[in-house]
Structures are given as structure tokens and as C-alpha cells.
Amino acid sequence: MELDLKTYFAMLWKRKWIIGLIVIVSSLAAWGISTVYVTPLYQATTKIVITKAADSPGAPALDINTMLLNVKLVDTYKELIVSPAIMEIVSKRYPELKLSAEQMLKKVKVISGKETTLFTIQARETSYEKASQLVNAVSETFKQQIQTIMKTDNIVILKEADSLNPPPVTPNIQFNTIIAFIVSLIVASGCFIASDLLSDTIKTEDDVMEHLKVPTLAVIAKLRRKELYKNKRKSFPSQVGEAKNVTVN
């Protein structure tokens, strides 16, 4: 196992500059695409809780049965919020949003935890101002329409979308760049290792022994261009009158 790891490391080390170039180019490409070509989206949220109906001022506090019923109502309310009926009303009441019911359905999402009467409405838009306007409009419309649809008034908006200007939720430039770095490193390394393992050429003395079953008698070293030029100058000393220096053998 140790020998194999050393072999793989040697394979990659020979091509470290190529692998490094591939990783750098891939990371820069991911950063550039995320920054320039991907439209940023902003997310705004409102929080809604189901409570006891407010139709009787002297109604007792919530008991366990009412709480369980409200928990079961969460799924129903979630479906109602993203129904075309609610979105059609929002589209008509808030023409400044310039969105149809179908467009709103693609931008609005409702999430909730398990065994809870609290749920969250999310909206994503190209600006935080548009997202907050959309999610507040949906929440307010739903609160009003639930009195007609379910004949009850047990919805409380705990938190509306504020007027802050947070950073966009997508694209995550840092995450995309890191993923591109890791994936390009793995893919480049894997391709080069596979190329070496599938190659049937003889490269080392061990390959000679493994494939030909004979020992290596001699090895011709690979010389760099610089070393070759240096050896050439040593082999052919300058003649008298051609240089001031004299080569001593």
C-alpha cells in the first residue's frame, strides 16, 4: 500500500504544474461565472403562527387538544398559501408587484418544522425590496382570506420582512469557487493517474523487470537543454586567439 501511494504521488508530482493550472483556471472560471453571469437573488421571510381563534374575547387559553388541531392545520395552511386562489388575489390587490399568479407560485415557498404551529413564508427576487414586498403581500392576504375560507381568525404574523438590505442568497460565490477547486483537483488527478495506469509503455527499471523479466544493464539519463549546452562547451575548448580563458583538463 505504501509503495502504491508513493507511485501515485510520483505520478501526480510529475504533472504538478499542469494540475495546478487546471485547478486555477477552473476556480477562476467558477468565480467569474458566479460573479458576472448568474443573477443574484435575495430572500425575504415572514413568520406566521396559528393561535386560538379571536372571535370570542373571553375564550380560554389554548388546551392540548386545540394545540394538536392547530399543528394539523399547518399542512392545510401551507397548501392554501401557495394555491392559485390566494396568489390570484395577491396579484390583483398589489399590481405594483407586476407579477402574475403563476410567477408568484415560482417565487414563494412555505416551510415549517415538525410538530409546530409556526411556519415561514419565503420569497426570492432580484432585489430585497421586491422580495420583502412580495412576501408581506402574501402573508397579509392569507391572513385576511383565511377568515373567509376557514371561518376562523387564528393567524398571527409574528414577523414581517424588514427593510434591511442583506446580501443575496444565491449565487454563493465562495462555495462555488471551493467546489470548483476540489472537483477540478480530483478530476485532473484521477485522469492523470488513470492515464498512467492504463499506459503499457515501459518507463522505469521496475517496468523492465516486471514485463520483460530481465535486469537492467544500463540507464541513459535524461539531460536538460542547459546541461547539454554546458557539456558541449566543455567538450570543445576554445582555440588560441578565440577567447581569453583557457580550459584546463
**In this predicted model, what pLDDT tens digit does every residue of 126-158 receive, in sequence order?**
999 999 999 999 999 999 988 888 887 888 888
Q: Would you say the pTM of this structure is higher than 0.95?
A: no
- Mean pLDDT over all residues of the chain? 81
Residue with cell 403562527: 49
| Half-sphere exposure at residue 207, Cβ-oriented, CA atoms within 13 angstroms | 9
**In this predicted model, what pLDDT tens digit does every residue of 101-113 receive, in sequence order?**
999 999 999 998 8
Per-residue pLDDT band at 54 (split at 50, 70, 90)? low
Q: What's the average model confidence in pLDDT over 217-225? A: 71
Asked which of 21-30, 64-73, 83-92, 162-171 is least confident by mean pLDDT, the reply is 64-73
Q: How far is CA 184 from the centre of its chain?
A: 14
Asked which of 90-94, 117-121, 122-126, 230-234 is least confident by mean pLDDT, the reply is 230-234
DSSP state of 96: G
**In this predicted model, what pLDDT tens digit does every residue of 6-43 receive, in sequence order?**
777 888 888 889 999 999 999 999 999 988 888 899 99
Ramachandran angles phi, psi of 60, nearest 5° = -70, 165
State the cell numbers at 21.
493550472
Q: What is the secondary structure of 139-195 as a DSSP string?
A: HHHHHHHHHHHSS---EEEEE---S--PPPSB--HHHHHHHHHHHHHHHHHHHHHHH
